[in-house]
Structure 1
Amino acid sequence: MSDTAAKQQATTDMLTDFEQVADINSLDVARYIEQHPDFFIDFPELTEKLKLPHQQKGSISLFELQSEQLRKKNRMLSHKLSQLIAIAKKNEEIYRIYADLNLQLITCRFFSEVQDKLEDIMLDRLRLSAVTLKSFSGAHALPEIQRKLFIEKRFKQEFFFFGRISSHEKQLLFADQSVESVALMLLGDRGELGILAIASHDPGHFNPDMDTLLITQLQQFLNVLLPNLAGY
């Protein structure tokens, strides 16, 4: 008996066995095929006989369905890859902006210049809505009562806060500027230097789950820079 005839006979025997077992249903068949993924390799002639429903094309062969699924999967993977590349490029751009900001801050000799540099970079290049640097000392220091308000409410465990703040807090930090979400950071090894507050028009831009690598580096840089500036 030839191999082809043997396979055909085996197929016939298998189908006959299925028919003879009353309690076998379509789920049992599906489980069997799932547990034996090489089933259609052993019986390729069955793939030509199978017809599967398709929403747009009516009935199609198993091979056509598999080909279409592979094309969809490839398109999905290509789309995800494009998204990852776009995110990587955006992250690289943001990293370069922060690196440039740190370099520009080195040239500052006065506290007021730091505020100007932060505004230039963060408003123009990062497209943020507002940035303010509130010191805890000097002529323009944040009043003690407001300082305690922020520390007790926003910095109980961490030197950072990301998210939404109250209208009163917005007014204290940003006056009448547009603010939806904020990043707040205490400055100084013990939080004694001041607060850097950054705002966005986007309610979800600053959130508790965001990555803090770059903003932490900025905080550390300001911790070293600010005590040595005139006018602080």
Structure 2
Amino acid sequence: MKQVEEQAERQNALSDELILQFLQQNPDFFIRNARQVEQMHIPHPVRGTVSLVEWQLARQRHHIAQLEEEITLLMEQARGNEVLFRRLLALQTDLSAATGLHDLLERLQHWARQQELVGADIRLFSDKWRISAPSRFTHLALSRSLFEPLRIQRLRDRNHYLGSLNGPELLLLLPQARQVGSVALSLLGKHDALGVVIFSSRDSHHYQDGMGTVLLQHLANLLPDMLARWVERV
């Protein structure tokens, strides 16, 4: 029985191929047989049968509707990208005007609060930056070995993590923070990780996996050069 069905499928495929070949070799077929074509009816999943002309018009309408949806989506993405670009440009311009590391951190914090976030913090891997005493910014130091379990658990092979952190993880990254529901965490640097930048929100659903990370990526690439104006690299 199965062999008979397979043979019938092969015959149908062959018939379809022959018909398509014939139509390609005879492009005026529908013109020469316009009246018969108009009278043809084909199966329809809802209406039983429809004329070939109705079927073609329905396909065209469906195709036009799809194109309109795609154009609408592209326009929405373009508007979103424009807003994102303006926000990033404003932040970059503001950070570039910083007169010192403390000023830079304050400006980044101010920008984060304008976005209705708890704040923004930078932690620098102590094996990549000279921030040990007598530096005034020892509190920015982060041990890579202590961070490694968090990286494996949360980031894996990615540069960003968006979501919640548990108590020990928050204590490691944001020891002074209170009421943090979710974070956006990005590794600093284009190649070798130099530290992390963390945006935090009280809302546990504010940052979630799958959200866009374009702004985070740009900022993570931008900050190391700015930081290097006041902190020496190892």
Question: TM range, normalised to the smaller chain?
Answer: 0.5 to 0.7
Query: Paired residue for 2:110, among 107, 114, 120?
Result: 120
**Preserved CA contact (<8 Å) 1:128 1:198:** yes
Q: Quote the sequence identity (%).
A: 20
Aligned residue in 2 for 1:222: 223
Shift of 1:124: 3.2
Aligned residue in 2 for 1:33: 19
SS of equivalent to 1:34: helix
Q: Is the aligned partner of 1:50 residue 2:50?
A: no
Superposition map of 1:125-136 within 5 A: 125=115, 130-135=119-124, 136=126
Structure 1 stretch 141-150 or stretch 43-52: which is displaced more?
A: 141-150
Superposition map of 1:91-106 within 5 A: 91-106=81-96
Structure 1 stretch 197-206 or stretch 43-52: which is displaced more?
A: 197-206
1:91-138: per-residue Cα shift (whole Å, max 9, x none)? 12111111110111122224333233223334534x666531124524
SS of equivalent to 2:198: strand
Shift of 1:56: 4.2
Superposition map of 1:132-171 within 5 A: 132-135=121-124, 136=126, 137=131, 138-142=135-139, 146-150=143-147, 154=151, 160-163=159-162, 166-167=165-166, 168-171=168-171
Aligned residue in 2 for 1:8: none
SS of equivalent to 1:133: strand
Structure 2: distance between partners of 1:68 and 1:129: 53
Amino acid across the alignment from 1:204: D
Change in 2 beyond 3 A, CA 1:202/1:220: closer
Change in 2 beyond 3 A, CA 1:77/1:159: closer
Amino acid across the alignment from 1:185: L
SS of equivalent to 1:184: strand
SS of equivalent to 1:228: coil
Aligned residue in 2 for 1:183: 185
How many residues align structurally? 201
Aligned residue in 2 for 1:11: none
| Aligned Cα root-mean-square deviation (Å) | 3.9
Aligned residue in 2 for 1:9: none
Structure 2: distance between partners of 1:189 and 1:61: 61
Structure 2: distance between partners of 1:177 and 1:186: 21
Shift of 1:157: 10
Change in 2 beyond 3 A, CA 1:51/1:159: closer
**Preserved CA contact (<8 Å) 1:183 1:206:** no
The two structures have a TM-score, normalised by structure 2, of: 0.65
**Preserved CA contact (<8 Å) 2:186 2:217:** no
Change in 2 beyond 3 A, CA 1:29/1:46: farther
Aligned residue in 2 for 1:63: 53
- Structure 1 alignment gaps of length 5 or more: 1-23
Aligned residue in 1 for 2:208: 203
Structure 2: distance between partners of 1:177 and 1:163: 13
Structure 2: distance between partners of 1:150 and 1:171: 11
